[in-house]
């Protein structure tokens, strides 16, 4: 049976969440957004959520051990057997290496990394215009998250480049145009 584990990688505001939800609905892949999982913990007030929120409100990365705990938990649920899209994860080299180990434990490997390419200025404009009411969509925090993404990029992209897993998509287009490319790439990954 066709199966694929795909990382959606890109700066905040690149639209990868929207693309991931569309791909989830079309291909039946599970959408694993560490940001969404963390926000769920925060709103439920779990100990993990309380701890994670100290970093999130400042736009800082949540420590790897907390992130890996929620990803492991999510990946172990049976609905992930057909594959998954990782959104906002991995964000460090250690997370990328740990993901390989988690997938290996399940007898799988990462299929592809789709990199959403967007100029910094466009990313900034989109976040400033975003009205989701998120606590971290404030101007000072936005700048921090944008700066951090540069570091995330430098830590994660070379790791996947070395494995030949990266496919780039121009994210400075309409949702429909981007999805046409994403769709074709997922079909390639599922083969």
**Which residues sit at the interface with ligand AMP, rule CB under 6 A?**
12, 34-35, 38, 55-56, 59-62, 67, 88-91, 95, 136, 145
Report residue 188 CA to chain centroid gap. Answer: 20
Closest CB to ligand AMP among residues 24, 55: 55
| Residue of 39, 74, 91, 124 marked catalytic | 91
Neighbour count for residue 158 (Cβ, 10 Å):
13
Catalytic (active site) residue 167: no
Closest CB to ligand AMP among residues 69, 184: 69
| Residue of 16, 138, 167, 191 marked catalytic | 16
Residue 100, CA distances (Å) to 9, 10, 38, 172 in order: 16, 19, 21, 30
Beta strands in 23-82 (DSSP E): 30-33
The Cα 35–Cα 9 span in angstroms is 13
Report, in Å, the least distance between residue 101 CB and ligand AMP: 15
Cα dihedral across residues 38, 43, 47, 51: positive or negative: positive
Catalytic (active site) residue 91: yes
Closest CB to ligand AMP among residues 69, 180: 69
Catalytic (active site) residue 134: yes
Report, in Å, the least distance between residue 77 CB and ligand AMP: 18
| Residue of 44, 54, 69, 130 marked catalytic | 130
Strands lying side by side in the sheet with 4-9: 30-33, 83-87, 4-9, 112-117, 166-170
Catalytic (active site) residue 16: yes
Closest CB to ligand AMP among residues 60, 81: 60
Q: Give the burial class of 73: count Cβ atoms within 10 A of its Cβ; 0-12 exposed, 13-18 middle, 19 or more buried.
A: exposed
Catalytic (active site) residue 191: no
Report, in Å, the least distance between residue 161 CB and ligand AMP: 19
Q: What is the CA radius of gyration of the chain?
A: 16
Report, in Å, the least distance between residue 11 CB and ligand AMP: 10
Q: Catalytic amino acids?
A: 16, 91, 130, 134, 145
């Amino acid at each position: 049976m066709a199966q694929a584990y795909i990382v959606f990688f890109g700066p905040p505001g690149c639209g990868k969440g929207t693309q991931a939800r569309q791909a989830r609905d079309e291909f039946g892949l599970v959408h694993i957004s560490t940001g969404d999982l963390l926000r769920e913990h925060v709103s439920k007030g779990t100990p993990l959520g309380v701890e994670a929120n100290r970093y999130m409100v400042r736009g800082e990365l949540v420590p790897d051990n907390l992130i890996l705990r929620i990803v492991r938990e999510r990946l172990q649920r049976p609905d992930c057997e057909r594959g998954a899209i990782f959104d906002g994860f991995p964000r460090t080299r250690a997370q990328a290496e740990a993901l390989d180990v988690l997938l290996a434990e399940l007898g799988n490997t990462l299929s592809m990394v789709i990199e959403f390419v967007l100029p910094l200025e466009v990313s900034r404009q989109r976040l400033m215009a975003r009205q989701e009411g998120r606590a971290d969509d404030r101007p000072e925090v936005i700048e921090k998250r944008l700066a951090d993404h540069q570091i995330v990029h430098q830590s994660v992209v070379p790791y996947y480049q070395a494995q030949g897993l990266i496919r780039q998509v121009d994210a400075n287009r309409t949702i429909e145009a981007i999805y046409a490319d994403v769709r074709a790439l997922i079909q390639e990954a599922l083969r």
